[in-house]
Amino acid sequence: MSSAVSRIPFKPQPSVIPGFGITLGLSLFWLCLIVLVPLAGLFLKSAALGWDGFWATVLTPRVLAALRLSFGASLIAAAINAVFGLLVAWVLVRYDFPGRRIVDALIDIPFALPTAIAGIALTTLWAENGWLGSIVASYGIKVSFTPLGVVFALVFIGLPFVVRTVQPVLQDFDREVEEAAESLGATPWQTFTKVIWPSIMPATLTGFALAFARALGEYGSVIFIAGNLPMVSEIAPLLIVIKLEEFSYGGAAAIAAVMLMASFILLLAINALQRWAERREKRR
């Protein structure tokens, strides 16, 4: 991609295969129509509020509380996913046990199950009279309709991101390096921290960032379990919906612009992480 001489975008190198102009042209047209123009419209709308109007909308206690909950719960959920996702990926790649293939297939359920369905299922499950909720309730822990419920829903939807990012790297990991470390007298813990972890760390971080990004914007699975109390368990995407229902288009656009900027920064970070991981992979 580094043809530094010709900096003209979309300029093809000569090829005998036909159809470059038409396929690229139509793709770009469709991309602009469905994705880029609508997104640009959103930024225009929030810009129309003006600098002061924008911050007056965003810096209200209710919006700040929602943003804090969204970022905080997403961060905690992504951290839980990083730990357990790594553990699950490890177990799936390294160990054989009855039902392993079924567990492997189950990992993708949060990708495929509609979020609203996940939402009502998790809410019922963790409600005080639910299958699992009644167990933790006897220890005085409430999940459904609390911020903890938000975290639980975000753990559900984020898990596959970590597992599916770490799994292939762990699978390609050269076992001989590990065996060499062991035969040189390293303890299992040393082997893991000094030999295995450095090579799967970039993938784990990427998975963490992907899970965080997904959790930040999540709506369907959260709104049922959250209880949606203003200032307590109201997530930022829900506040966007509330602003829209109040016909405050500018307010909705302002919150959305903040969320989008965060998503784009995360997207850049994820791309950088993936390039870093690839470079490390090549060096071995």
Using CB under 8 A as the binding rule, the residues of this chain from 195 to 224 that contact other proteins are 213, 216-220, 224
- Rounded least distance, CB 68 to other proteins, Å: 17
> Which one of residues 58, 75, 84, 227 is an interface residue with other proteins (CB under 8 A)?
84
> Which one of residues 79, 90, 137, 280 is an interface residue with other proteins (CB under 8 A)?
90
- Rounded least distance, CB 264 to other proteins, Å: 7
- Rounded least distance, CB 56 to other proteins, Å: 19
Task: Select the span of 53-61, 71-79, 89-97, 143-151 touching other proteins (CB under 8 A).
Answer: 89-97
- Among candidates 109, 118, 107, which has minimal Cα distance to 84? 107
- Does residue 10 bind other proteins (CB under 8 A)? yes
> Which one of residues 47, 58, 263, 280 is an interface residue with other proteins (CB under 8 A)?
263
> Which one of residues 197, 271, 272, 276 is an interface residue with other proteins (CB under 8 A)?
271
**144 φ/ψ sector (left φ>0, alpha ψ -120 to 50, else beta):** beta
CA pair distance 184, 39, nearest whole angstrom: 56
Say if residues 135 and 177 touch (Cβ distance below 8 Å): no
- Does residue 72 bind other proteins (CB under 8 A)? no
Say if residues 261 and 249 touch (Cβ distance below 8 Å): no
CA pair distance 223, 235, nearest whole angstrom: 8
CA pair distance 260, 257, nearest whole angstrom: 5
CA–chain centroid gap for 253, Å, is 22
- Does residue 264 bind other proteins (CB under 8 A)? yes
Say if residues 110 and 85 touch (Cβ distance below 8 Å): no
DSSP state, 148?
A: H
- Does residue 185 bind other proteins (CB under 8 A)? no
- Taking residues 16 to 55 in sequence order and writing x for each that binds other proteins by CB under 8 A, - otherwise, the string is xxxxx--xx-xxx-xx--xxxxxx-xx--x----------
CA pair distance 237, 250, nearest whole angstrom: 15
- Does residue 180 bind other proteins (CB under 8 A)? no
Tokens (6 digits) for 157? 């939807």
- Rounded least distance, CB 92 to other proteins, Å: 7
CA pair distance 78, 67, nearest whole angstrom: 16
Tokens (6 digits) for 108? 């993708």
- Does residue 139 bind other proteins (CB under 8 A)? no
Residues 150-169 that bind other proteins (CB under 8 A): 152, 155-156, 159, 164-165, 167-168
> Which one of residues 52, 59, 61, 95 is an interface residue with other proteins (CB under 8 A)?
95
- Does residue 240 bind other proteins (CB under 8 A)? yes
Residues 96-135 that bind other proteins (CB under 8 A): 96-97, 101, 103-118, 120-122, 124-125, 131-132
Tokens (6 digits) for 191? 């082997």
- Positive or negative, the CA dihedral 160, 72, 141, 238 is negative
